[in-house]
């Protein structure tokens, strides 16, 4: 597998859909599917002020890369970019962008969905939701 | 043997700190290690799940911990 | 159904993923899924020089709007943008962008895929592939 | 009755022009109209599919064409 078909980034900086799209584009690509996660203003009816994202960085990067490699093996895609942000994010800001390109669109849809589903299961990144009256680590306790 | 324990997210609060140096009997498995830890920090039992990574890779309960390993507590992840 | 949740555009101008993303974004959105079609450099092994897109404009716009309305009824999404370009496009250029937003990502993936699948079946737009040694209306004859 | 026929994509080439004014017997159905058209322009029979829109809406074969309708030939679409 050519490693330059995978672009992984873990950063405190603002993510760019343009950069992800440009990375996966190519003359033999017929479709590009992107998932852009955004911070919602509420969880279970409670107003969210902001989110804090914390990562175990070296392992988060290696797990994101594994997802990229798995996706390239599993689906007929050309390239994939997986970018994740850490630090404090406000409502409407973007913690994650995943972009996949393929000759035929179905593979790009499946790859992008698989990648975000897997990221949410395996990549060691944690978010704390901060409300007006407290805070909670998401999904940590029942 | 000496190992380093790193704790992220909610586990950092449950064990009272990000980094701890610990002394373990040689041959300790991840499973036994978790038992020791849960005895010392019962709050860990409240987690929906608790995985362990050693040297940046997820490991099974039967995995044997080695001298100078970096052990990381992985409570339920919530990236994305 | 609020009509301002649907943005339809049929134009000769270059399409913008940023404009589509901005339209579907909102504080109660957790995920945005986009499909960007691009002109591929080949079809069945033959090199494509460019594509000509022709539309029956008033009906194309009304069929695109119907897809938007159908998608809002069928899936739990907040907003959808469907933009299509006409005229002559070179390899790598973008004939179509579809962007859908939702509170939970699954609906946005399904909506976006349904919208592009339906667009390719119902919207009266035709493309002619131009090769070095001829041209062909796509899918017209067996 | 007078109707207007618009042809797009490959049908424009098959019927020899984008816009044609036609005279039809009143009460003509879309199905009969297509039969008349295929007799005059046999190339139309080569199409993978041929739908008809009247006044910007797809219609069935049984649909009755009315005076001054705008009839559009829709060969297989290929947008996107």
CA–CA–CA angle A35, A56, B45 (5° rounding): 105
Length of chain A equals 142
Output the six-digit token pair for D28.
């003509």
Find, in chain D, the residue whose alpha carbon is nearest to that of C53.
D79
List the CATH number of the domain containing B44: 3.10.20.30
Residue B33 lies in a domain: yes
Q: What does the pLDDT average to over A5-9?
A: 98
Q: What is the pLDDT of residue D23?
A: 96
Q: Which helix (H) or strand (E) holds A51?
A: strand A50-55
Q: What does the pLDDT average to over B25-32?
A: 97
Rounded Cα distance, C83 and A101, in Å? 19
Residue B79 lies in a domain: no
CB pairs under 8 A between A and C: 89
Residue A140 lies in a domain: no
List the CATH number of the domain containing C121: 3.90.1170.40
Is C10's pLDDT higher than 90? yes
> Which chain A residues are closer than 8 Å to B56 by Cβ?
56, 58-59, 62
Could you give the number of structural domains in chain A? 1
Output the six-digit token pair for A127.
């978010």
How close A10 comes to chain B (CA, Å)? 11
Split at pLDDT 50, 70, 90, the class of C142 is confident
Predicted confidence (pLDDT) per residue in C12-44, tens digit: 999 999 999 999 999 999 999 999 999 999 988
Q: What is the pLDDT of residue A44?
A: 85
Residue A141 lies in a domain: no
Q: Which residue has the tokens 């960007």?
A: C36
Contact A15, A96 (CB under 8 A): yes
Q: What does the pLDDT average to over D45-71?
A: 97
Split at pLDDT 50, 70, 90, the class of B34 is very high
Rounded Cα distance, C5 and C78, in Å? 7
β-bridge pairing A42-43 and C134-137: unpaired
Find, in chain C, the residue whose alpha carbon is nearest to that of D45.
C141
Domain that holds residue C24: 3-131
Domain that holds residue B34: 2-74
Q: What is the pLDDT of residue C3?
A: 66
How close A118 comes to chain B (CA, Å)? 10
Q: What string of DSSP letters covers C80-119?
A: EEEEEE-EEEETT--SEEEEEEESSHHHHHHHHHHHHHHH
Q: Do chains A and B touch (3 or more CB pairs under 8 A)?
A: yes
Taking residue A11's Cβ as centre, other Cβ atoms within 10 Å add up to 11
Residue C136 lies in a domain: no
Find, in chain C, the residue whose alpha carbon is nearest to that of A26.
C92
Could you give the number of structural domains in chain B? 1
Nearest to A127 among B6, B74, B79 (CB): B79
Largest CA distance in chain B: 38
CB pair distance less than 8 Å for C125 and D80: yes
Residue C71 lies in a domain: yes
Is C133's pLDDT higher than 80? yes
Q: What is the pLDDT of residue A3?
A: 66
Residue B18 lies in a domain: yes
Q: If you ran DSSP here, which 8-state letter would residue A2 be given?
A: -
> Which chain A residues are closer than 8 Å to B9 by Cβ?
54, 126, 128, 137, 140
Query: In this prediction, does ipTM exceed 0.90?
Result: yes
Rounded Cα distance, A109 and A102, in Å? 9
Is A2's pLDDT higher than 80? no
> Which chain B residues are closer than 8 Å to A54 by Cβ?
8-9
Neighbouring subunits of B (3+ Cβ pairs under 8 A): A
Predicted confidence (pLDDT) per residue in A97-106, tens digit: 999 999 999 9
Is A110's pLDDT higher than 70? yes
Is C52's pLDDT higher than 80? yes
Q: What is the pLDDT of residue A45?
A: 86
CB pair distance less than 8 Å for C36 and A21: yes
Residue B56 lies in a domain: yes
Find, in chain D, the residue whose alpha carbon is nearest to that of C121.
D77
Split at pLDDT 50, 70, 90, the class of D3 is very high
Q: What is the pLDDT of residue C44?
A: 85
Q: Do chains C and D touch (3 or more CB pairs under 8 A)?
A: yes
Q: What is the pLDDT of residue A133?
A: 93
**pLDDT averaged over chain B?**
97
CA–CA–CA angle D17, C83, C49 (5° rounding): 60
Output the six-digit token pair for A38.
């955004």
Give residue ranges of B with CB < 8 Å to any A CB: 6, 8-10, 46-48, 53, 56-58, 72, 74-80
Rounded Cα distance, B69 and C125, in Å? 61
Residue D80 lies in a domain: no
> Which chain C residues are closer than 8 Å to D19 by Cβ?
none
Share of chain D above pLDDT 90, in %: 100
Q: If DSSP codes are grouped into helix, strand and coil, which group holds residue C46?
A: strand
Predicted confidence (pLDDT) per residue in A32-80, tens digit: 999 999 999 998 889 999 999 999 999 999 999 999 999 999 999 999 9
CB pairs under 8 A between C and D: 80
Q: What is the pLDDT of residue C43?
A: 87
Listed in sequence order, the residues at least 6 apart from A124 whose beta carbon sits closer than 8 Å to its beta carbon are A55, A56, A59, A60, A63, B8, B53, B72, B74, B77, B79
Q: Do chains D and B touch (3 or more CB pairs under 8 A)?
A: no
Residue A142 lies in a domain: no
Rounded Cα distance, A34 and A112, in Å? 7
Q: What does the pLDDT average to over B31-47?
A: 97
Find, in chain A, the residue whose alpha carbon is nearest to that of C50.
A27
Q: If DSSP codes are grouped into helix, strand and coil, which group holds residue A34?
A: strand
Closest residue by Cα to residue C35 from C118, C126, C103, C125: C118
Share of chain C above pLDDT 70, in %: 98
Exposure letters B44-71 (e unless 16+ CB within 10 A, then b): beebeebbbbbebeebeeebebeeebeb
């Amino acid at each position: 597998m050519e490693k330059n078909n995978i672009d992984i980034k873990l950063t405190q900086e603002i993510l760019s859909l343009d950069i992800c799209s440009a990375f996966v584009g190519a003359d033999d690509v017929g479709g590009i599917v992107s998932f852009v996660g955004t911070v919602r203003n509420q969880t279970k009816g409670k107003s969210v002020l902001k989110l804090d994202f914390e990562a175990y960085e070296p392992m988060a990067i290696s797990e994101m890369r594994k997802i990229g490699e798995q996706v390239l093996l599993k689906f007929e895609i050309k390239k994939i970019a997986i970018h994740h942000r850490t630090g404090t994010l406000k409502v409407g800001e973007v913690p994650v962008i995943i972009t996949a390109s393929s000759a035929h669109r179905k593979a790009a849809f499946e790859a992008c969905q698989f990648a975000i589903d897997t990221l949410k299961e395996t990549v060691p990144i944690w978010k704390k939701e901060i409300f007006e009256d407290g805070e909670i680590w998401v999904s940590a306790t029942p | 043997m000496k190992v380093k324990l790193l704790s992220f997210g909610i586990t950092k609060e449950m064990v009272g700190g990000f980094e701890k140096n610990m002394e373990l009997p040689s041959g300790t498995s991840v499973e036994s290690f978790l038992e020791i830890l849960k005895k010392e920090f019962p709050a860990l039992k409240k987690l929906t799940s608790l995985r362990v990574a050693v040297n940046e890779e997820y490991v099974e309960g039967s995995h044997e911990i080695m001298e100078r390993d970096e052990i990381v507590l992985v409570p339920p992840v919530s990236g994305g």
